[in-house]
Amino acid sequence: METAAEMNKLFSDFSEYIRKEQDLKEKIRDEVKNLEHIAREITMIMQNVHQNPAQDEVLKCCNSSRANFATCKTHYAQLAALVPVNQFYHFNDMWRFATQKLAFLVSLTFFLETGKLASFEEVAESLGLKPEREKGFHLDLEDYLTGLLQMASELARFATNSVTSGNYDRPIEISKFVSELNAGFRLLNLKNDSLRKKFDALKYDVKKIEEIVYDVSIRGLRPAAGNADQAGN
């Protein structure tokens, strides 16, 4: 019967298609595991800045992280080799979480080193990703932005711990930085997606840091704002 032969062809063609895709997904999964492993290692390294927020210690952690970012480049290159052209978004759910985490760690490292915001291009370059889809395996803008929001959360914690260990300047710096980030994010028209939800949490980070600044200022602990006079007690 004519239909039976056509059906069989549909069956074999589709089964072949699924099989190839599953094979590819398995290879991608393996590569992504490597990236996630590195992300966890770097996270552990960066947790040390909370324990010992002295600037030279912080920079040591940053250097350590930088070495690991270089390893990411190899893995992203291997990942890029697996993914066919124009199918980035067919599979990107598989590495999205890892990329967001790594973007966060890069921008955190950059801030701790320079006090500035790591640009989109800088983060892409650090991880070995292209800044534009047309140029190859790229950094997705929303992943970069999600990374920034994770960084803001981490900095809120860092501000707390800086004060605890006697560094009263840093929370001021952080407050200025995160407020600016907040102002920037407010310029975006976000849809009701996960980026929007994470952005909604940013205001709590902003508030927490402002409270820290208040605590520090009201007790005259800020060396920068004049003398440490005891008028406030």
Partner 1 sequence: MSRGGGRGNRRGGHRFDRGGDQRLREAKDEQYQLIDDSSEIIKTFKQFALQLDAKHDRHERIVKLSRDVTIESKRIIFLIHTINSSNDSKKEQILDQANFRLKQVEANLFQAIAQELVGEDPHQFLRAFSAGLQEYIEAKTFYQFMVSASIPHWNEIQKDLTYAQEATEEGAEASEILTPVLPTEYMLGVGDLTGELMRRCINCVGMGELDACKQLCGFLRQVYRIFAGFDTFGYKEFGRKTYVMRQSLAKTENVCYTIQVRGSEVPKHLLAQAIHMSMDNPEEDEGFY
Annotated binding site: 154
Say whether residue 192 binds partner 1 (CB under 8 A): no
Contact 159, 209 (CB under 8 A): yes
Nearer residue to partner 1 within complex by CB, 29 or 40: 29
DSSP state of 119: P
E-state strands within the chain: none
Q: Return the residue of 113, 142, 150, 161 that touches partner 1, per CB under 8 A.
A: 142
Say whether residue 78 binds partner 1 (CB under 8 A): no
Residue 130: both structure tokens together: 């292209």
Nearer residue to partner 1 within complex by CB, 38 or 213: 213
Say whether residue 194 binds partner 1 (CB under 8 A): no
Amino acid (1-letter code) at residue 69: F
Phi and psi at residue 202, to the nearest 5°: -60, -35
Residue 98: both structure tokens together: 């890892």
Phi and psi at residue 89, to the nearest 5°: -80, -5
Task: State how far the Cα of 33 lies from the Cα of 186, in Å rounded to an integer.
Answer: 34
Say whether residue 51 binds partner 1 (CB under 8 A): no
- How far lies 46's CA from each of 59, 88, 97, in Å? 10, 30, 18
Nearer residue to partner 1 within complex by CB, 126 or 175: 175
Q: What would the x/- binding string for partner 1 be over residues 213 to 232, using CB under 8 A?
A: xx--xxxx-x--xx--x-xx
Give the nearest distance from C-beta 6 to partner 1 in angstroms.
6
Give the nearest distance from C-beta 188 to partner 1 in angstroms.
5
- How far lies 60's CA from each of 65, 71, 81, 159, in Å? 9, 18, 33, 19
Task: State how far the Cα of 112 lies from the Cα of 60, in Å rounded to an integer.
Answer: 11
Contact 152, 108 (CB under 8 A): no
Give the nearest distance from C-beta 137 to partner 1 in angstroms.
12
Q: What would the x/- binding string for partner 1 be over residues 3 to 32, using CB under 8 A?
A: xx-xxxxxx-xxx-xxx--x--x-------
Give the nearest distance from C-beta 31 to partner 1 in angstroms.
18
Say whether residue 67 binds partner 1 (CB under 8 A): no
Q: How many CB atoms lie within 10 A of CB 149?
A: 21
Number of residues binding to partner 1, judged by CB under 8 A: 57
Annotated binding site for Mg(2+): 154
In the complex, which residues of this chain contact partner 1 (CB under 8 A)? 2-4, 6-11, 13-15, 17-19, 22, 25, 86-90, 117, 119-120, 133-134, 141-142, 145, 172, 175-176, 179-181, 183-185, 187-191, 213-214, 217-220, 222, 225-226, 229, 231-233
